[in-house]
Structure 1
Amino acid sequence: MKKILNILFAGLMLSALNSCNDLDTTPYVGEVSDLVYQDADNYKKVLAKLYAGLAVSGIEPQDGNVDLKGIDGGSQSYLRAYWYLQEFTTDEAVVGWGDPGLPDLHASSWTASNQWTSNFYSRALYQVTVANEFIRESSPEKLEARGLAGNTQIPLYRSEAKFLRALSYYHALDMFGSVPFVTEADPVGAFLPEQISRADLFTYLETELKALENELPGPQANEYGRADQGAVWMTLAKLYLNAEVYTGTPKYNEAAEYAKKVIDAGYTLSPNYQANFMADNDQSNELIFTINYDGNQTATWGGTTTLIHAQIGGTMNPADFGVDGGWSGFRTTPEFVALFDNGTDGRRLLHSDGQKLEIDEIGTFDNGYAVAKWSNLTSAGVAGKSLAHTDTDFGVYRLSDAYLMYAEAVTRGGSGDQALALSLVNQLRTRANAAPVTALSLDFLLDERGRELFWEAHRRTDLIRFGKFTTGYNWAWKGNIKEGRDIGTHMSLFPIASSDIVANTNLVQNSGY
């Protein structure tokens, strides 16, 4: 998909189709749709916009002409908002900036009007809306009427759009629980969507994703960055691993089954762990599904541009990371640093020179160790195309996560091979030059997930699944005190955006907000 990121035409069309605040556009939408979808070549351009919606905020460079009006372009980036919610609410990351709503994430004091929870809520549902429109316009009936019934590629694009819709609904399920639910079967125009329960959304996603198993290409058989069976299997494994949280019913047998499908699919671990987080990580056979970036064609202030610039400050040299400067923002907590019990683990990509371990003041960059995991350098040490905007793709899913999910599902009692589970974990540790272990426990696996997957937007979900997000484990400045404290159990879910609660009388706010 790096080769089809020039999507201005498709983006302009979709901005018209999804002007959520202008309910008088329905007749115009119909005219635009008929015009655009008559041409078979335009379907891939619209599909590119769906993928790009995970990476950028609008249709002009540097987050110009944004999709969601009234929200800052850099702030409404799908990945940026998702990463913030998954990381700043945990022991893996703190941020020193005082942007409205941002300090509240680590302080566990967010409300229904928090900018960042609302940004992601809006962005995820926008992605669903855009996917619904494409799915609706690429139905067999519409293709027949347009004389495109014989086209073999458009049905594939439609299945990919269904996957992207499922991915956003999965993220909404995980973060908000019960959300407004709309599919291509619903009418176009102004209506108030009904709210679907968390359990019913789980069932919908399970059914949808299992159907997509038979519709998408095999693992690595699609263009890089586009969905295939591996991406579907990883999402199902995630869904099943967290099923007890989402529905009250564990599904560890199924989690092990789908993680094993990925493990057997031909992906391989990169010999160099950090190669998965560099400007040429599109060459890694470990990455299963990615959000793609190009310093020229996806010039955004969100995504990996934020991750790389914001981790740099103090004595760190921006040139060592292939960028033109540091933003002195993100660090990690002493509790996370303690997960690395010795200096030999190659995944301990931390910067301590000039940094204090303890965080006395969150707003001071040298309080807390910095992180040096992400880079805009290639594995050969060459900077990306732009020093301002990065080429580094974000691995939504990679093979090591499948290894750890399989090991956890089996350790929790799911059907599988315990010896294989241990071997998979030790393969990761061997690559990292960490000592092999002789047995697995849940506490160990939570720590190992932290060591292997930190700053990859998994930690909040993991801590909730292990029962350590709100109570049972504290870290610096959790609950807005230096030593950390327990927080209300309702905070395992984020609130539905207050603006949507006001606008849609069918919605009920999550408990505690």
Structure 2
Amino acid sequence: MLKTIKTVFIAFTLVFFAQSCESDLDLQPEDNRLTADAAFEEPGAYKAFLAKLYAGLSVSGQQGPAGDADLSGLDEGFSNYMRLYWSMQELTTDEAVIGWNDGTIKDLHAQTWTSGNEFIRTMYSRIFYQVALTNEFLRQTSDAKLDARSTEASLRGDIQKYRAEARFMRALTYWHALDLFGNVPFVTEDDPIGAFLPQQIQRQDLFDYIESELLAIEGEITGARLNDYGRADQAAVWMLLSKLYINAEVYTGTARYSDVVTYTSKIIESGFSIADNPYYHLFLADNDTNGTQSEVIFPITFDGLNTQSFGGMTFFIHAAVGGSMVPADYGINGGWAGLRTTSKLVDKFPGEANSADGRALFYTDGQTKEIANISNFTNGYAVEKFRNVDVNGVAGSDPTGDIPDTDFPMFRLADAYLMYAEAFVRGAGGSATNAVNYINILRERAYGNTSGNITQSSLNLDFILAERSRELFWEAHRRTDLIRFGQFSDQGLWPWKGNVAQGRTTEAFRDLMPLPATDLGINTNLKQNQGY
């Protein structure tokens, strides 16, 4: 049924949008005569609102690709959730640089950002806009509300599944807040609608809340691999728990690696499999049907006709094309000449751009490996990971070549394999045989044979971190990984970190992003993160 999430989506402009904890959020309803209760008079409204929760990660407003933005204060393309989250996770690391001079965008890679950075501020805004949506869905689907509407029993059964999915989406969003910002404002469906100053929750308490929500819905959400493609199921819950637990020592000071083994094992045993396809097929326009979907646990779905945005995959593909690259080879009408990578990522592949490792998806013609000038697109190898063509080279559905069909694999089996292996190396139990086997399954696909296989003697933390980069680069994991391995701020080096060509270490407090100065000026309950 999904890509149904792509096509069911309709706009809700309800009064609950007034709930906000930051002045930049433009959350006023267009039509103040429409009430939340009135919006749910039609039975189909529940699923449509659920679609809006999913679409909140892929689109940026009420009409695509621009023209009626959810948020004000930043260009609508820049304010897209996935584009912002990817920028926080990738532009701040050794895996990506951007050549543009839009506002303070370059401060992300330089790690010189302040609490006034508009991209960090809008990521924060987007997180709490999404929280507001999920909270209102949960308010409007309470037993009391359904009783008042005399909702039929068959529909109520569906709604209970929808509620579990909404709680997953809120947990996912709060995990992003936990990971990026630490101590944040905290609002649930039990809080009032309208203007009020949310209390700040401490990182440990937010961790506990996310964990409790995920454990509570584990048995309520649709079983693993049984929901529509693009919608959360039990495996997505296990994956988010695994991500929470593998970073628990960062978040709370207490390691939970044995729980990583438990929950990644559940995922691995639930029927997902590494597709018998080349690695690059995972990132093509038909990645929802070409066989690689067998390993995707939770995608962010995009469609050239039905989910149009200048963020998300539109950004990831267009911005990575420039120089002598031919846009038609990537299924688009033109490149934006922005995104490349640093030599630090290239060096992780034996043989570099000519590596036998098929994950080395670099474009080098006319490109220099080292970056002398970030603003020059031909400085730094380009990355060919995402394309808007199918396995036969046919472009996606948008006839203009503007908006791609390619879905973003937020969670996939390869990450579960790598987390299991990491937890084993960190002494959390599990099987050495399994850990090595899981790594080799990925490397056999990458090399097309067993020539890249490893033995247990190679399985150490340095190898795991490098292998995560080789397998998962540009998939919005890198910042979190580097922080967990102590390599993000005051230790790891890469080109143009610290705003110098050879790179320099930065202050340890940058492992957390600052709370936006605008919100601190309004909400007297908030205390800024140390160092800002």
The residue number in structure 1 matching 2:231 is: 226
Aligned mates of 1:449, 1:127 — CA distance in 2:
29
**Corresponding residue SS for 1:64:** coil
Deviation at 1:236, TM superposition (A): 0.2
Deviation at 1:264, TM superposition (A): 0.8
What aligned pairs does 1:354-373 form with structure 2 within 5 A after superposition?
Answer: 354-373=366-385
What aligned pairs does 1:317-396 form with structure 2 within 5 A after superposition?
Answer: 317-342=326-351, 343-386=355-398, 387-396=401-410
Contact 2:314–2:402 (CA under 8 A) maintained in structure 1: yes
The residue number in structure 2 matching 1:313 is: 322
Q: Cα deviation per residue 1:384-436 (whole Å; 9 max; x = unaligned)?
A: 01210010000110110000000001110112111100110011011101511
The residue number in structure 2 matching 1:405 is: 419
Aligned mates of 1:363, 1:482 — CA distance in 2:
13
Matched, 1:298 2:307: yes
Aligned mates of 2:27, 2:75 — CA distance in 1:
24
Aligned mates of 2:5, 2:296 — CA distance in 1:
19
From the superposition, tell whether residues 183 and 416 of structure 1 become closer, same or farther in structure 2 (CA, over 3 Å): same
Counterpart AA for 2:498: G
The residue number in structure 2 matching 1:36 is: 39
Q: Cα deviation per residue 1:227-276 (whole Å; 9 max; x = unaligned)?
A: 10111011000000000000000000001111111111111112221111
From the superposition, tell whether residues 235 and 301 of structure 1 become closer, same or farther in structure 2 (CA, over 3 Å): same
Contact 1:333–1:369 (CA under 8 A) maintained in structure 2: yes
Aligned mates of 2:75, 2:446 — CA distance in 1:
39
Counterpart AA for 2:529: N
The residue number in structure 2 matching 1:455 is: 474
Counterpart AA for 1:85: M
Aligned mates of 1:40, 1:30 — CA distance in 2:
20
Aligned mates of 2:28, 2:143 — CA distance in 1:
25
Counterpart AA for 1:468: Q
Q: 1:156 aligns with which of 154, 158, 161?
A: 161
The residue number in structure 2 matching 1:13 is: 13
Q: Cα deviation per residue 1:41-87 (whole Å; 9 max; x = unaligned)?
A: 11001111111010000011212211112332111100000000100
The residue number in structure 2 matching 1:59 is: 62
Aligned mates of 1:4, 1:210 — CA distance in 2:
25
Deviation at 1:458, TM superposition (A): 0.3
Aligned mates of 1:184, 1:247 — CA distance in 2:
25
The residue number in structure 2 matching 1:490 is: 509
Contact 1:477–1:484 (CA under 8 A) maintained in structure 2: yes
What aligned pairs does 1:194-343 form with structure 2 within 5 A after superposition?
Answer: 194-271=199-276, 272-283=278-289, 284-342=293-351, 343=355
The residue number in structure 1 matching 2:455 is: 438
Q: 2:495 aligns with which of 470, 476, 491?
A: 476
Contact 1:276–1:286 (CA under 8 A) maintained in structure 2: no
Q: 1:135 aligns with which of 117, 134, 138?
A: 138
Deviation at 1:39, TM superposition (A): 2.4
Contact 1:17–1:29 (CA under 8 A) maintained in structure 2: no
Aligned mates of 1:290, 1:417 — CA distance in 2:
29
From the superposition, tell whether residues 23 and 487 of structure 1 become closer, same or farther in structure 2 (CA, over 3 Å): closer
The residue number in structure 2 matching 1:116 is: 119
Deviation at 1:322, TM superposition (A): 0.7
Counterpart AA for 1:17: F
Aligned mates of 1:24, 1:269 — CA distance in 2:
42
**Corresponding residue SS for 2:62:** strand
Aligned mates of 2:256, 2:429 — CA distance in 1:
10
**Corresponding residue SS for 1:225:** coil
Contact 2:181–2:513 (CA under 8 A) maintained in structure 1: yes
**Corresponding residue SS for 1:416:** coil
Aligned mates of 2:42, 2:455 — CA distance in 1:
59
TM-score (norm 1): 0.97
Larger deviation: 131-140 or 465-474? 465-474
**Corresponding residue SS for 1:397:** strand
Between the aligned residues of both structures, percent identity stands at 50
Aligned mates of 1:17, 1:188 — CA distance in 2:
6
Aligned mates of 1:336, 1:111 — CA distance in 2:
26
Aligned mates of 1:282, 1:6 — CA distance in 2:
15
Larger deviation: 442-451 or 259-268? 259-268
Counterpart AA for 1:46: F
Contact 2:26–2:70 (CA under 8 A) maintained in structure 1: no
Aligned mates of 1:372, 1:502 — CA distance in 2:
42
Matched, 1:45 2:48: yes
Contact 2:5–2:55 (CA under 8 A) maintained in structure 1: no
Contact 2:74–2:118 (CA under 8 A) maintained in structure 1: no
Aligned mates of 1:101, 1:235 — CA distance in 2:
31
Counterpart AA for 2:436: L
Aligned mates of 1:109, 1:356 — CA distance in 2:
25
Matched, 1:166 2:145: no
Counterpart AA for 2:67: G
Aligned mates of 1:172, 1:24 — CA distance in 2:
20
TM-score (norm 2): 0.93
Aligned mates of 1:4, 1:484 — CA distance in 2:
43
From the superposition, tell whether residues 29 and 203 of structure 1 become closer, same or farther in structure 2 (CA, over 3 Å): farther
From the superposition, tell whether residues 468 and 161 of structure 1 become closer, same or farther in structure 2 (CA, over 3 Å): same
Larger deviation: 265-274 or 417-426? 265-274
Aligned mates of 1:336, 1:480 — CA distance in 2:
18
Larger deviation: 131-140 or 143-152? 143-152
Counterpart AA for 1:197: Q
**Corresponding residue SS for 1:289:** strand
In structure 2, stretches of 5+ residues that fail to align are none
Aligned mates of 1:213, 1:33 — CA distance in 2:
28
